[in-house]
Amino acid sequence: MDIRHGSLVVAFALGAAAALPAQSIDPHCTDPSIVGVAHQGGDACQKVADLFNYMNMQIGTWVAGGNPTLGQGGTLGGLGHFAVGVRANVMKATIPKVDEINVQPGPPVATNIPSSDKWVGLPSVDVAVGIFKGFPVGVTTIGGIDALVNVSYLPTYTKNSIHVGAQDNKWNIGFGGRLGIIQESLLLPGVGVSYMIRDLPTAELSGEDNSGNTVTISDYKIRTKQWRLTASKKLLFLGLAAGVGQDKYDTKASLTYNVDGNTPNAPIALHISPTRTNYFADLSFNLLLLRLVAEVGRVTGGNVATYNSFSTDASAARTYGSLGIRIGL
């Protein structure tokens, strides 16, 4: 399978399952009512579950990103102020080579799953609208409020034996808010705390390996819930921002498969919700109403292990970046 093109979508297709204790077998994959009396589908079940767990940690980073409004620390300044931005979150991902996985009929067998590193990205649109300026305190204001909105899009992708697409609507909307701690002024930085929920559209996937074994995933839903503490300061035509926060990647899906004619008696319900710490810094170039922003960040933590092995740990720290354009008042 060629994953040089559309690699984000292929990666997305591999991203949700029940988090496993280290080196354990998912209980679904030993349940005779799911994998058969002789456990014919056990190995297929476990390998797909591990792929889901492994990729979900990376997909959550693409979706969540760093700063909810690139280059912004505090609130915008109340009614009449807004910011609209287009960004791409990029990361060097470790993507398993699905077509090289050897799936055997029978109970789970731990193997090394080959992978390759690819740069992948996810575009999104972010909107922030000033709601309340805040209360004046000395040379600044406190308690300002912004409304935050995010728009995501999932295209249809078909390559060789892999098909990924939105199950219903190709668009989805996330939402959140930001509370100002300090409004930026000539002497003070802007400081704020925010909470944001970002969703991808509900999706479905079908795929086939070189032996003709197939897997189908439906009702794939990933929702990232994130809080951020951010600070920013303009210095002439440059702007600096930095922040820290926490992300929760809540993902659900249903799985079926066919391995040498063996299928589960019912779809397997999958769920994972790991939590990671997120640090980031922004550099912006300001041109009147337009800002060009670059961001670099790093996520750490989470506790996701797999029965099969990969080139890196599922919970390994990862560095990401964002590039974006922002307009606003």
Of the pLDDT bands very low, low, confident and very high (cuts 50, 70, 90), residue 163 is confident
Burial class (CB in 10 A: 0-12, 13-18, 19+), 186: exposed
**Residue-wise pLDDT tens digits, 52-98:** 888 889 889 988 999 999 999 999 999 999 999 999 999 998 888 77
The answer to whether residues 251 and 18 touch, using CB atoms and an 8 Å cutoff, is no
| DSSP 8-state class, residue 313 | -
Task: Give me 20's structure tokens.
Answer: 């496993």
Q: Would you state the pLDDT for residue 23? A: 59
**Out of 99-113, 188-202, 235-249, 280-294, least confident range:** 99-113
CATH architecture of 7-328: Beta Barrel (2.40)
Q: Would you state the pLDDT for residue 14? A: 47
Of the pLDDT bands very low, low, confident and very high (cuts 50, 70, 90), residue 17 is very low
User: In the predicted model, is pLDDT for residue 43 greater than 70?
Assistant: yes
Of the pLDDT bands very low, low, confident and very high (cuts 50, 70, 90), residue 4 is very low
Q: Would you state the pLDDT for residue 5? A: 40
Task: Give me 147's structure tokens.
Answer: 């409304």
Report the pLDDT averaged over residues 222-242. Answer: 96
Q: Would you state the pLDDT for residue 160? A: 61
User: In the predicted model, is pLDDT for residue 148 greater than 50?
Assistant: yes
**Residue-wise pLDDT tens digits, 295-324:** 999 999 998 889 999 988 999 999 999 999
**Residue-wise pLDDT tens digits, 265-293:** 788 888 999 999 999 999 999 998 899 99
How far is CA 96 from each of CA 27, 103, 212, rounded to the nearest angstrom? 23, 14, 18
Q: Residue ranges of the domains in the chain?
A: 7-328
More confident call, 2 vs 168? 168
Q: Would you state the pLDDT for residue 159? A: 63
User: In the predicted model, is pLDDT for residue 11 greater than 70?
Assistant: no
More confident call, 206 vs 277? 277
DSSP string, 221-249: EEEEEEEEEEEEEEETTEEEEEEEEEEEE
Q: Would you state the pLDDT for residue 103? A: 80
Would you call 51 helix, strand, or coil by DSSP? helix
How far is CA 25 from each of CA 111, 175, 236, 251, 270, rounded to the nearest angstrom? 13, 36, 57, 19, 14
User: In the predicted model, is pLDDT for residue 221 greater than 70?
Assistant: yes
Report the pLDDT averaged over residues 114-133. Answer: 91
Residue 248: closest CA among 228, 268, 218: 228
Mean pLDDT of the chain: 87
User: In the predicted model, is pLDDT for residue 164 greater than 80?
Assistant: no
